[in-house]
Structure formats: structure tokens, C-alpha cells
Structure 1
Amino acid sequence: MSKIDQYIQAATRDNTRQSYQAAVRHFEFEWGGFLPATADNISNYLAAYAETLSINTLRQRLAALAQWHISQGFPDPTKSPVVRKVFRGIQALHPARKKQARPLQLDQLEQVVKWLNGSIDAACHSGDRQKELRYVRDKALLLVGFWRGFRGDELVRLRIEHIEVEHGKGMTCYLSQTKGDRHYKGTSFKTPALSRLCPVEAYLEWTKVSQLTSGPVFRAIDRWGHIDNRGLHQDSLVPIFRTILQNAGITDVERYSGHSLRRGFANWTNSNNWDIKTLMEYVGWKNIQSAIRYIDSADPYSQRRIESGLKKGDK
């Protein structure tokens, strides 16, 4: 690979590049399309999968095909009027309700951490190195993810050499790129040390037990207790997360995902009277709509507000 190719590849996030490649393969090999494509080809492709693929998936397929044509020097057929009309028609006839991960509540986090602490003690007592490593890693993964409001891809990209800890105060995590960082300026996220459920203490416990001094923070652990040199893959987070919750006695684990930590933290701040600007600055959201999508109202049916008004009317 030439240096130019390396720089071009680095300009696109790994998960975006992989999903775009998969989308182009789907168009070519599963549907039987030809590239470069015409507007009619794209329209027929959309119509073929309108009832089986979600709107978001179809939108992502269009973005991938647009990127392929532009990068290869061809006109972009996805911007043609007929393709736009077909896509709008699919949206009208096949509306999809947006599914959101259930937020992990603070009491649930306490329940899970309590179970993990007991499991760590049991593993140490029995000399089970593999279980000890796994439970200590999972505890750090949950607490850092929750209190920092990280996305899944941000958690797996954390590196030890980019984390600075100030004992008793907190730690600073540097990420060279985040979703909202289009100019690759890098962002530093500060996480406080807490009196309980402390993310800093959990992180230090993990690096001490694992003896890791550089490289990815969170890694796979095999059945013999060997720690992988590479970081966890983002796709492995949801199975790990759901297994932890299920073992700790949380029900309906299929309704939780990696976003449950971020949504859980956002909901906790909302119930503790953080203003939206403070939350946005802490998490790193650039626009208010991004923040609002993660916040569930503490009174979703407005019952308390209505009842309060009824009581005033009775006087």
C-alpha cells in the first residue's frame, strides 16, 4: 500500500469503511448489480429491499454506493431525482419506529458492580486467573463507559498511553478522533474519581491486575487467561455487556446494547438536574438534538405534572 493509499484509508473510520465495503458487496454479489450503476439500477435495488431492510440500512447502502462512485471518478447516481423519489416513497409506505437501547439505570449499575465484586473475590480465592481478569476488565469497562458516557467505538479505542491519572481527583482520556471531530483535532475527556462506583479506581485495578502498560485498554481474554495484544472489537461489546447483565440478574438483556451506558448516564444527569449545556460539554455532543435523543423524561407520561395541576385546581 502506497503512502497516499494509507492516508486515504486513514481518512475514513474503520467501522465506516467496513460497513461501506459490505454494502457494495451486497449490491454487486447478492443482488447482482453492476458498477458503475445507473439511477435505474439504484432505484430497482432500493425497491427490491424496501420491505426487508430498514430505512437506516437503505440510507447507509446509498451512502456507500455514492462514496464508491465518487472515489472512482464516476457521476453519483444516488443523487438523481428518481432515486430520491423512490427513497421518499419507501419512507412513506414503510415507516419504521426508531428502536432505542434501554438505558442502564444507576441502581442496576450498582447491582452489576456488586455482583462483579463478589465474583472477583471468589475468583481470587479459588486462584482462577482467567475469571479474575475477565471480571476486573468488565467492571472497568462498565464504570468508565457509564460515567464518561462513551460510545462503544470510543471505549474500544482507548489506549493506556493516552490516559493520565491524578490520584484522588480523576483521569483524562485522550481520543485522537471522535464521531463529531471531523477535523481530527483530538479530544480529551476528563472523568472524576468518585466515592463509590469509581471509574478511576476500576481502571487502575484493571491495569494493575492485567499488568498492561501500553496499547489498547480493553482486550479479549481467552480461556487460559491470556490477554490479546489487540483491543476488543466493537461488535464484541454487546455480547459481553449482555452476558454481564444476565449473570448479575438483570432481566430482558436483549433490550440493552453498548448505547445503554451512554443513555443511562444521560438519564442520570437529567434526573439530577444537569442543564443540557453542561451535559453536552461533558459528553461531547455538538448539537442539542444529539443530547435530547439520549434523554428519557423522568416522567414520560407527564403524570406528576398533570396531577400537580389537578390538585391546584381542586383548591
Structure 2
Amino acid sequence: MTHQSFHDAGRVMSRVEHYLLQARRENTERSVAAAVRHYELEWRGLLPATPQSIAAYLAHYASTQSISTLRVRLAALGRWHREQGFADPTKSDLVRRVLKGIRSEHNTPQKQARPMAFDELARVEQWLLSQVRVEPPATSEAAAARLRAARDRSMLLLGFWRGFRADELTSLRFEHVRIEPDGSMQCFLAASKTDTSASGRSFRCPSLPRHCPVAAFRDWQTLSGLQSGPVYRQINRWGVISERGMRATSVIPWLRRLLTKAGADMPDQYSSHSLRRGFANWARTSGWDLKELMDYVGWKDVHAAMRYLEVDAARSDQLFAQSLGTAPDPADAAVVPQAAPPERSPPKRSNVVPLRPRKTSP
């Protein structure tokens, strides 16, 4: 093989490695690294692990870690073993049975993020809009606050009306957003959590008469002057916009800080899923059927969709009242127990022998 052939082969291999790295999502990389760090440093386990050591690891943290946390770490450790060429100990029958026992004994209701109610969304958006319209800013800090309000308003409305997750919001790029002639907006996501084939998907965002995500996006792009790269980025106190996009893990603290500043109640109960859950509940109460909602958001599994929907207690009570009425049924009235008759003493035995008829001769 000539020197040029070696050089070409090296270039091909470097491109192969590049595309292999692109196939691994940043969030997955962090998850695997965190699980390995916890297993090796916190628990002082050895890798590669055996099924027995993985089972002991699970048992050690069974009472202090949630089932969902243990599952995430288990999946990450399994991925590490497969990628390093080792047998996956997390798939063993021993580990499966230990995890089932932990779930039986320590299972608790899964905590769900508080959905963003439409009224709350409108109030926070109005507060942000009042800051965006302040001009001209007198100081660099005021200019930075105005920029931040424009970014936050766009991020909040797009996250709600499209039901985007944190990774979808933070991976959006300007060159993948297109404003259509009818005023709507097309957002192309090259990859997302559920897009395992990395084929990408386009999402249409409508232009709305109120609380419009398209108008908010236009305001943010105009004020920022950005035309390419990540749409949502960090902004420092002097109004300098970072070249790098926000991380998905920063969405929860971002939303809670925003709600705290806007005076929302219990901001710590919100998470990055609050926007998605809020839209799902708004759509359901607005008359969308489940198929329409799944198609719009991008859910392929009905069980995944149902986890985002809350039971409307008032609606349930209304349906019961329509079917059964509101007046109590007389048959359901409490039955007053009848008083037991007084006990009587048993009758005294008689000493009289009863007479029997005599037998007569035929």
C-alpha cells in the first residue's frame, strides 16, 4: 500500500469516527459518564462488572434512590459494557429479579411536573412583553434584560405551543427555522430523544392572534441579530450573547428563575415537562382528540401521551352528575337498625304427661 493509500485510509477512518461521535447524543454521553462515575467513585465498584456486583449495587441504593433513577443508571451501565465490548451484566436474570423486588418494596408514586396552565402562561408572557417593549435601554444591564426577556418569551411560547422537550428547544437552529407565506413557522429538528434513527422531523408552529410563538421568535431574532447557529443561548450581564446554545439540563433552572421573577406560585414544582404537559391539557380541554394530539406533538405511544394528561376532576364530577343526578337516592339513605326484641326466658317444662289414645281391638 502506498503512502497516499495510507493517507486516504486515515482520512476515511477519521470520518468514520466523526460520524460515530455524531450518532451518540450529548445527553446520553453525560448520562453514561454520570452512572459510571457514581458506580466507581461513590460505590467503589469495579468495571467491567458482574451480575452479582450490579445486583449488590442496586440493593445498596434501593431505599435511598428512586426506581426511575436506578433504571437510568442501570441502562447507562449496560450501554458502557456493550460499547466496551463486554457482556452486559444488567440483562442477567439475577439483576432483573432484584430490580423487581426493589420495585415491589420501595415503589412510590412517580413525581410529575406541574403543568403550565394557560392563564399562567399568558400572565408570564405579558410580563416579559412589557420588558421587551422598553426602549431605548438606558444601560447595558437594561439592554441585557431586554434581550433576555425576548429570548425567554420566544422560548416559553414555542415550548408550550409545540409541546417541545428541553432537548428539542435547545437543539433548534436558526437555519432550520422557516417562516411560511401564511405566517406559520416550520421548525426542523435534526435529532431528538425519540428519533432513534436520526432522520429528523419538521414541526409546524401556527401563527396565533394572541400569545403568538411566531411573533415572539421574530422579536428575538430581530433584537439578537442572529441568523444562524443555536436559537436559544446564554446572555451575560452585559448583553453579550454566547455562541453556544443552552444545554438541555439548564432548562429547568431557567424556567424556575423565570417564574420566580414573574411572581408565579410554587415555581419549584415546574420542570422542563411543564410546558409539554400544559399544552397537552390545554388541547384536551379545547376539544382535541387523542389522535390529533399525538400527531401534533409527535407521540407514537398512546401510553406516553396519557402520562402527560391529567384527570379533570371537575369534568368527571359533571359527567357523574349528568348521569346520576345531584339529589341523593332514597335507597341510599342510612338504614336504621330495628331494635332487637327482648329476650324471653325459655318456657318451663310441664310435669303433665300427654295422654295417648288407647289402641282398640279390631
TM-score (norm 1): 0.95
Q: 1:305 corresponds to which residue?
A: 319
Q: CA deviation at 1:233?
A: 1.1
- 8 Å contact kept, 1:151–1:262: yes
Aligned equivalent of 1:4, options 16, 23, 28: 16
- 8 Å contact kept, 2:137–2:143: no
1:192 equivalent to 2:176? Answer no
- 8 Å contact kept, 2:177–2:186: yes
Is the deviation greater in 225-234 or in 292-301? 292-301
Secondary structure at 2:325 match in 1:
helix
Q: 1:41 corresponds to which residue?
A: 53
Counterpart CA distance in 2 for 1:152 and 1:301 is 31
Counterpart CA distance in 1 for 2:315 and 2:179 is 42
Counterpart CA distance in 2 for 1:54 and 1:123 is 49
Secondary structure at 2:187 match in 1:
strand
Q: 1:58 corresponds to which residue?
A: 70
Is the deviation greater in 7-16 or in 296-305? 296-305
Is the deviation greater in 290-299 or in 224-233? 290-299
1:133 equivalent to 2:147? Answer yes
Aligned equivalent of 1:245, options 255, 259, 265: 259
Structure possessing the higher radius of gyration over alpha carbons: 2
Distance 1:313 1:163, change over 3 A: same
Q: CA deviation at 1:310?
A: 2.9
Counterpart CA distance in 2 for 1:78 and 1:243 is 38
Unaligned runs of 5+ in 1: none
Q: Which has the higher contact order (CA 8 A, sep 6+)?
A: 1
Unaligned runs of 5+ in 2: 1-12, 330-362
Q: 1:288 corresponds to which residue?
A: 302
Aligned equivalent of 2:120, options 108, 111, 129: 108
Aligned equivalent of 1:218, options 206, 218, 232: 232
1:41-190 to 2 correspondences below 5 Å: 41-122=53-134, 124=136, 126-127=138-139, 128-190=142-204
Specify the code of the residue in structure 2 equivalent to 1:141: M
Secondary structure at 1:302 match in 2:
helix
Is the deviation greater in 120-129 or in 207-216? 120-129
Please identify which structure carries the higher helix content. 1
Identity, in percent, stands at 47
When the two structures are aligned, how many residues end up with a matched partner?
315
Counterpart CA distance in 2 for 1:155 and 1:214 is 15
1:250-289 to 2 correspondences below 5 Å: 250-289=264-303
Q: CA deviation at 1:2?
A: 3.6
Q: CA deviation at 1:301?
A: 7.7
**C-alpha RMSD over aligned residues:** 1.8
Distance 1:3 1:25, change over 3 A: farther
Secondary structure at 1:220 match in 2:
strand
- 8 Å contact kept, 1:149–1:266: yes
Counterpart CA distance in 2 for 1:291 and 1:47 is 32
- 8 Å contact kept, 1:124–1:132: no
- 8 Å contact kept, 1:242–1:253: yes
